[in-house]
Amino acid sequence: MIRETLDHLLVERGGVYVDATVGEGGHSSAILEALASEGRVLGIDRDPRSLARADLRLSRYGGRFTSVQGNYANMVTLATDRGITQADGVLLDLGLSSRHLEAPGYGFSFQVDEPLDMRYDPASPVTAETIVNTYREEELAQVLFRYGEEPRARAIARAVVRNRPVRTTGELAQLVTSALGSRSRRRIHPATRTFQALRIAVNDELENLKTGLEQAIRLLAPEGRLAVISYHSLEDRIVKAVLAQESAGCICPPEVVVCICGHVPTVNLVNRRVIRPSPHEVELNPRSRSAKMRVAQRRPA
């Protein structure tokens, strides 16, 4: 959704932008091309492997691009440490990249048999193997149901616990498939929801998203814009809820007749309905079909 991102994010052609999920630099490259010569981009990513590729790809922009390894939940500190106290725009693209699925060593995919890792940041202490082999059955089922929306979470958790230790993605995928049995008539691979749940839990993605959205809004300059691209309902619900709250005046419970919260809105919603990829983009990149973009603008000072 690069065209849609540029159309909705760029409000100041000579400004400073934060690509908080820079990955290998695809969006950052497009933003830098669209900006004037004084425009700059700060790229943030938890994955040092992706960041190294972004640095190489964007080296031709010289000092106009700066990268930092870190969690976008710490966006304000990461930016201010590099002299950026306000941004004209912040982008969060929450999707799992094709490279994360296809490159060896991450453990995100059930298509290749490799260690159960699933960390973006290899320095993080918790891996998918940790969760699979140490969580109690009830805890594991809760992870699968909450983060994967897996209706048969208990059956899967029971099978995993009975067959510990589980060391590889292939072992886990086979266990899940066996646990679901012939009743599983899904359009997606039986292990898809389980792998999503573990990835979200390992990287604490939903809590980081809530904090990251708040950090992004704090960092925005007056009339700066925040664009968020989500790919599944768990992410989109959080984005929608945070932006709805931050764009509202009163956030008192419905039973409170006279406002007592004193909440002051920080943003205006740019689009009431989600922005989706064009049919042409979906044809070129089928993985983009579930993408939803929401955009908010910081209120004037």
pLDDT digits (tens, 9 = 90+) for 129-181: 999 999 999 999 999 999 999 999 999 999 999 999 999 999 999 999 999 98
The residue count of the chain comes to 301
Cα dist from 177 to 116, 162, 194, whole Å: 17, 15, 10
Cα dist from 245 to 9, 68, 93, 267, whole Å: 21, 30, 21, 9
Helix, coil or strand: residue 293: strand
**48 CA to centre of own chain:** 16
CA distance 194 to 276: 26
- The whole-number pLDDT of residue 183 equals 57
Q: Give residue for tokens 């820079």.
A: 22
**What is the greatest pairwise CA distance in the chain?**
60
The dihedral built from the CA positions of residue 75, 240, 269 and 14, taken in this order, carries a sign that is: positive
Domains with residue ranges and CATH for the chain: 2-99+205-298 (3.40.50.150), 113-203 (1.10.150.170)
- The whole-number pLDDT of residue 243 equals 98
Show the 3-state SS of 179-220.
Answer: HHHHHCCCCCCCCHHHHHHHHHHHHCHHHHHHHHHHHHHHHE
pLDDT digits (tens, 9 = 90+) for 241-275: 999 999 998 888 888 888 888 889 999 999 989 99
pLDDT digits (tens, 9 = 90+) for 41-79: 999 999 999 999 999 999 999 999 999 999 999 999 999
> Do the bridges between strand 267-269 and strand 292-298 make them parallel or antiparallel, or are there none, so unpaired?
antiparallel
Contact 217, 251 (CB under 8 A): no
The dihedral built from the CA positions of residue 26, 30, 31 and 36, taken in this order, carries a sign that is: positive
Structure pTM?
Answer: 0.94
**228 CA to centre of own chain:** 9
Contact 143, 198 (CB under 8 A): yes
CA distance 11 to 98: 29
Arithmetic mean of pLDDT, 220-232? 97
pLDDT digits (tens, 9 = 90+) for 12-23: 999 999 999 999
pLDDT digits (tens, 9 = 90+) for 196-223: 999 999 999 999 999 999 999 999 999 9
Q: From the DSSP assignment, how many helices (H) and strands (E) are in the chain? A: 13, 7
Structure tokens at 293: 């973009």
Q: Give residue for tokens 């099978």.
A: 159
**58 CA to centre of own chain:** 22
Helix, coil or strand: residue 120: coil
Instruction: Output b/e per residue, 15-40; b: 16+ Cβ within 10 A.
Output: bbbbbbbbbbbebbbbbbebbeeebb
262 φ/ψ sector (left φ>0, alpha ψ -120 to 50, else beta): left
List the one residue out of 292, 298, 228 whose CA is nearest residue 267.
298
CA distance 106 to 120: 8
Structure tokens at 154: 């208990």
- The whole-number pLDDT of residue 184 equals 56
